[in-house]
Amino acid sequence: MAEADRRKWDARYASGNFLIEEGAPSAILVRHMGAARRGRAMDVAAGMGRNALYLARHGFAVDALDISPVGLAHLERAAAAAGLADRVRTVVVDLEVHAPGKAIYDLVIMANYLERRLIPRLAAALCPGGLLLIDTFLDDPASRAVAMNPAHLLKPGELGAFFGDDFEILEERAYPRVCMDGSERLKQAFAVRRRP
Ligand SMILES: C[S@@+](CC[C@H](N)C(=O)[O-])C[C@H]1O[C@@H](n2cnc3c(N)ncnc32)[C@H](O)[C@@H]1O
């Protein structure tokens, strides 16, 4: 399964015209950047690394993880061109099995990717006071958009159940988004902080 994903995403990124959200950073990341403590960050399923670059520009040392070496090579070139190569480390991993370590990140972002078994590992990877931002697709039976794998769609309210009393939910909201194929889908923006 992961190998098939790698081939699919490598081919998309190799085509050179697969720019998610026009290459702009995720809105949830922009919203929370002002209050985010600088330090170490992880961009989960980074792809071509629009969020990793934004984090590096804002002073973070970023680990950008993805299964696609082609996507991460784009990020390495962009980071070098922007003079940010020393703040971005790319790591080719299979996130279905990867464990990122414990209490090492001040900020973690996962955008447009969902692997439920990874979420507790992302929570554990946060330092006290660290921020986890998730922005991905919601199950939306009313949508007439092209069907997505239901395993990759969140149920409304689902994310909160992953986090116990050690965490404070800062934001949880659904919003419509026009996707690259022109269809409109509901997305979920979710921000949680590990209590200091
Ligand atoms: C829709 S893209 C999102 C990219 C980026 N987060 C963004 O929003 O711009 C999904 C990403 O998940 C990565 N991916 C898919 N399966 C994966 C796996 N098993 N392990 C690591 N990355 C994976 C793909 O290579 C792809 O870059």
Residue-wise pLDDT tens digits, 59-112? 999 999 999 999 999 999 999 999 999 999 999 999 999 999 999 999 999 999
Question: Burial level of 50, CB count in 10 A (0-12/13-18/19+)?
Answer: buried
> Which residue among 18, 67, 185 has the greatest number of ligand 1 atoms within 8 angstroms of its CB, and so is best to mutate?
67
* 31: in domain: no
The domain in which residue 68 lies consists of 2-13+41-194
* 25: in domain: no
Atom of ligand 1 nearest to the CA of 68: 25
Beta strands in 9-125 (DSSP E): 40-44, 61-66, 88-92, 105-111
Q: Looking at per-residue confidence, does 184 or 121 come out higher?
A: 121
For residue 73, what pLDDT is reported?
98
Of the pLDDT bands very low, low, confident and very high (cuts 50, 70, 90), residue 145 is low
* 81: in domain: yes
CATH number at residue 144: 3.40.50.150
For residue 144, what pLDDT is reported?
64
Residue type, 157: G
* 34: in domain: no
Tell me the C-alpha distance between 26 and 181, whole Å. 18
Q: Give ligand 1 pocket residues (Cβ under 6 A).
A: 2, 5, 9, 20, 45-47, 50, 66-68, 71, 93-96, 111-113
Tell me the C-alpha distance between 161 and 151, whole Å. 17
Closest residue by Cα to residue 169 from 195, 135, 140, 138 = 195
Provide mean pLDDT across the span 140-153. Answer: 79
* 36: in domain: no
- Domain count for the chain, please give it: 1
Of the pLDDT bands very low, low, confident and very high (cuts 50, 70, 90), residue 180 is confident
pTM for this model (two decimals)? 0.96
Question: Burial level of 41, CB count in 10 A (0-12/13-18/19+)?
Answer: buried
* 117: in domain: yes
Question: Burial level of 147, CB count in 10 A (0-12/13-18/19+)?
Answer: exposed
* 35: in domain: no
